Amino acid sequence: MAEKVVMLALSPTMETGTIARWLKKEGDEIRNGDIICEVETDKATMEYESVNEGVLLRIIVGEGEGAGVGRTIAVVGEKGEDITAILAEKSGAGDEGTGPAGGEKKEKGEIKKFETATPPAAAAEAETPAGAGMSGGGAPPEGVKASPLAREIARSRGIDLGAVAGTGPEGRIIKRDLEKGFPASAGPAPAAGHGRETVPVSPKRKIIAQRLSESMYSAPHYYLRKKVAVDELFEARKRLNRGREEKVSLNGFLIKLAAEALKRHPHVNSSWRDDVIERFGSADIGLAVSQEDGLITPVVRDCWNRGILDIDGELKTLIEKALANKLKPEEYTGATFTITNLGSFGIHEFTAIINPPGSAILAVGQALRETAAGPGDSVVFRTAMTLTLSCDHRVIDGARGAEFLNDLGEMIEHPVSALY
């Protein structure tokens, strides 16, 4: 009997997913556990593991198209089975109110609109004729097929869909077809010196905006700054890396030293839970990593019981996966403390927004040579960087935050102090 293949929630915060690539094609045999496609979530590109068995009879959501969690993305059944009834459904129990505005469904080789519960503003956009805003506002040439997202991108950029070759199912134009540097077609000219572009917000960017807004406005932030000398730390790193083909990163050292400081100040390794403060039993430290369309925080677990080499080795693996959008949810969620380092970008100092469930985040600036007071009236040169600790005042009082940052600074200035 034919079954619907529905979009699953592949990350804790996922509400919609975009099909990045179909690994199976219509007519292929599918077994339980087969990877049938790759899905771009709000955080990473995840493999979709099938729970259905049979023949892939129809792909409903093509590559580059989005689907809400629970919406049908394909149909699996027996070879030659009649699936007309499934294709004819406008919105089944798994589809209603989950697909994006202006979504599409294939039915008997045609592309048809289906209705979803959308806000008035979104509904107004969904009802806009497919060619509105393109080539002077006219409809695209007859026979041109395009996904809703592709239509919106083309409308906002003034791209003539008739000049674009589609690579989606049945030659449909999808998002990636519009990311190849097509010139904007002639349309209403913007006012001189005020050209602008409307960029669709990705699911990842929406989640980042939502989570950071919640953190900033629910957790009362305060900030502590401390300048620390790093000459001894750099020398220790230089000695450790001597003769090593795989160099240990500065971030590996910072994570280990932060873990040691958290061991001495467990109140910083805690989380606000409305009626209780939860103190975590391990130091799971995240490092903010920039991606093309946002950022993600891979987490190195159990840093109290691991050495620098072990920590740095896993950190490198996690960063590679983060840059390739291959992190699993358990690899980027649940950091008890977070570090963000913009020193390589030439940033001297900055403040950061706390990454829940943690109650503190450490912002690391660029290491710079400077003069400082030496013994007596002498002047010495040193290398120093500025640390800025953002704290949730509900959990960490000012004095306790200062004690933690002072101890961490001492460990960075004199790494041997982390041993006692």
List, by residue number, the catalytic residues. Answer: 393, 397
Burial class (CB in 10 A: 0-12, 13-18, 19+), 269: buried
Enumerate residues 6+ apart whose C-beta is below 8 A from 68: 7, 15, 16, 97, 98, 99, 100, 116
For the chain, give the secondary structure using H, E and C: CCEEEECCCCCCCCCEEEEEEECCCCCCEECCCCEEEEEECCCCEEEEECCCCEEEEEECCCCCCEEECCCEEEEEECCCCCCHHHHHCCCCCCCCCCCCCCCEEEECCEEEECCCCCCHHHHHHHCCCCCCCCHHHCCCCCCCCECHHHHHHHHHHCCCHHHCCCCCHHHCECHHHHCCCCCCCCCCCCCCCCCCCCCCCCHHHHHHHHHHHHHHHHCCEEEEEEEEECHHHHHHHHHHHCCCCCCCCHHHHHHHHHHHHHHHCCCCCEEECCCCEEECCCCCEEECEEECCEEECCEECCHHHCCHHHHHHHHHHHHHHHHCCCCCHHHCCCCCEEEEECHHHCCCCCCCCCCCCCCEEEEECCCEEEEEECCCCCEEEEEEEEEEEEEECCCCCHHHHHHHHHHHHHHHHCHHHHHC
**Residues making up the chain, counted from first to last:** 420
User: Taking a C-beta distance cutoff of 8 angstroms, is the pair 357, 375 a contact?
Assistant: no
Closest CA to 327 of 384, 266, 286, 373: 286
Residue pointed to by tokens 């955080």: 43
What is d(CA 178, CA 157) in angstroms, rounded to the nearest whole number? Answer: 10
For residue 279, give both structure tokens.
């103190």
Closest CA to 252 of 241, 262, 263, 268: 241
